[in-house]
Every structure is written in structure tokens, then in C-alpha cells.
Amino acid sequence: RAKETGKARCLIYSPRLNGPSEHDISLEAAMFQAVREGEFLLYYQPIVDARTRQIQGFETLMRWKHPALGLVPPVRFIPIAESNGLINLLGAWALKAACVQLKQFQEVAQRPLYMSVNISPRQFRNDKFLDILDDAITFSGVSGDNLVLEITEGTLMIDPVHAESILVRMTERQARIAIDDFGTGYSSLAYLKRFPISVLKIDRTFIKDLPASSKDAAICNAILDLAKHLNLSVVAEGVETEEQMHFIESRGCQYVQGYLTGKPMPAHAALAALSDKTYAALVPTPPAHEPRG
Ligand code: C2E
Ligand code: MG
Ligand code: MG
Ligand code: MG
């Protein structure tokens, strides 16, 4: 694994000294070491059909297994990698490794699963990004239409003209674009009209207080309505309970990703989940007292 990352192209290092804590600085130093040691790994979280609960794909989620600190969560290290440029190296590795992993998942499951990969603002702006994408597709042999690239509203808003041209080229590779954490960023709805977007991922903050919160219910309903009329798919993120699942499914949300239907897991566990015919059946069926639709 260390070899793979080591092979990746040059490292762009531009330290930002606008006030990281001492802790961040030592974490940052440890990250460069971690790349050389191959301490970064990928977990995969199932994205399931809300109605059948069959696995449709996975989101690739990066993990850092530090020998002393244990698993460092991405909220700790992704912002550092984003500010010092290491994200370009880590992100290119993750995209390629995720495609290779997807190929194996597809071979085992014998069906066209997809892989969703997070692309940070800095990766998206990197002028090598399309080459990196092409390389990942060619090297792994997956088809572009089995790839979903997740970007945030913020990524689109930094430079909409540039964003549009990159997005168009991404879709020329048949890759689909998802808006991650939809509704939490600074953006305008106009971008849904302007850019070639296929998927909205409803942020967990709108899901977690369902079905009790009438405001969150209204927001989810509005997003699902909007998506339906714009012909976009929707993934509800962070579904943890049957009640949330039932709410979202009954409102016509097609896809769900959350602890209820599978936590992020290493590839071998994801493979087991794919092979396990009873995986979907293990999850209880939605309550029967309310009609669907
Ligand atoms: P995200 O892309 O929005 O990913 C979803 C996050 O929600 C993941 O956190 C996932 O573990 C978590 N999650 C999913 N279902 C549930 C649930 O039911 N309950 C709860 N409490 N959490 C749930 P994670 O893995 O810690 O990643 C956090 C963020 O770090 C990601 O948010 C993404 O922005 C970033 N990230 C992770 N991996 C990568 C990567 O490879 N590249 C880039 N650029 N960013 C990454
Ligand atoms: Mg994501
Ligand atoms: Mg998200
Ligand atoms: Mg999120």
C-alpha cells in the first residue's frame, strides 16, 4: 500500500500558517510519515435501495490508522490535507483504489454496482484532475457510468465557470455528479439548472431529527419534490432508525446510506455483505401501519 501511494505523482506542499493548533502541526507532520508508511486505508459504506434494501453501491470513506492514535477520523485529517495539498496525493490514490475495489465488488456480485467517491475542492480545482480520473477508469477497467463523484456546493461556487467546464468533462466520461451535504452550503438553486448534476445527497443534519422535527420533514419533502421534478436521484445520508427509513421511503426517496443499513466497513466486510443473500433480510421491514407512496 505504501508503494502504491509512493508511486503517485509529486506532492504539492504549501503550508498554511494561519493559525493551526500545535496539535494540528504534529498531526500534519505525522501525515507525511503516514503516507510513506501506508497508514491510510479505505472503508466502504453501502448505499441501498430504500424499498428493497439491496446494496446498489458504496461510498468510499478514507481512514487513517495511526499506530499510536488508532483510527483518526477524516474530519480531523481531511481539512489539514486540504490546506497543505496532500489531498491531491491522497485523493488520487483513493479514486484509483476505489475503482479497483469496485471492479472486484462487481465481479463478486455479478451486477453493475457503483462507487461514490468524495472529491475535495482542491482536488476538483487541480488541473491534473481529469487525467487522474481517466487513469483510475482505465487502470481499473470499470466503466465511467459506475462512478459517482461527490462534490459540495462550496466546490461549485468557488469558480462556477471553471466548475461547469470540469463537470461537463466529467460527464463526458459518463461519471455522474452528486451534490454532497445538499442544503448545508452556500449556493443558489440556479446551479441545479446550470450544471450536469445527477444526484442529491440529503445531509444527515436534516435526517437525524426525523420524523419528529416538522422543519426537517418539510426540508426533506421539498428536496425530494425538487429532485423529482428535475429528474435527479436522491440519497438520504445518516439514516439510523426504522422510523427515519420509513419516513424517507414513504416520501419517495430512492436511496439510503446510514448506520441502519450498514456502517462504513473494510472491503472484506463489504464483500461479505454483497455475497450474503440474507443481508437485506436481516434488516426489519418497514412498519406496516402506514400505506406507502
Ligand atoms: P461525507 O462525504 O458526507 O460522508 C458521510 C459521513 O457520514 C461519513 O463520515 C459516514 O461515516 C457518516 N455516516 C454515514 N451514515 C451515518 C449514520 O447513520 N450516522 C452517523 N452518525 N454518521 C453516518 P466519515 O467517514 O467520518 O467522513 C466524514 C467526511 O470526511 C465525509 O463526509 C467527507 O466530507 C470527508 N471524507 C471522507 N473520506 C474522504 C475522501 O476519501 N476524500 C475526501 N475529499 N473527503 C473525504
Ligand atoms: Mg460524501
Ligand atoms: Mg455527505
Ligand atoms: Mg455529510
Nearest-atom index, ligand 1, CA of 180: 3
Of all protein residues, the one whose alpha carbon is nearest to atom 42 of ligand 1 is 118
- Asked if the bond preceding 284 is cis, omega within 30° of 0, the reply is no
91: Cβ below 6 Å to ligand 1? yes
CA within 13 Å, CB half, 38? 8
Helices (H) and strands (E) in the chain, counts: 13, 9
Per-residue model confidence as pLDDT tens for the chain (293 residues): 334 443 333 344 444 445 556 667 788 888 989 998 999 999 999 999 999 999 999 999 999 999 998 999 999 999 999 999 999 999 999 999 999 999 999 999 999 999 999 999 999 999 999 999 999 999 999 999 999 999 999 999 989 999 999 999 999 999 999 999 999 988 788 899 999 999 999 999 999 999 999 999 999 999 999 999 999 999 999 999 999 999 999 999 999 999 999 999 999 999 999 987 655 545 544 444 544 44
Q: How far is the CA of 178 from the centre of ligand 2 (A)?
A: 9
CA of 94 to the centre of ligand 1 (A): 14
- Cell numbers at 247, concatenated: 419516513
Mutate which of 47, 61, 259 for ligand 1? The one with the most ligand atoms within 8 Å of its CB, which is: 61
pLDDT of residue 288: 47
Whether ipTM exceeds 0.90:
yes
- pLDDT value, residue 285: 46
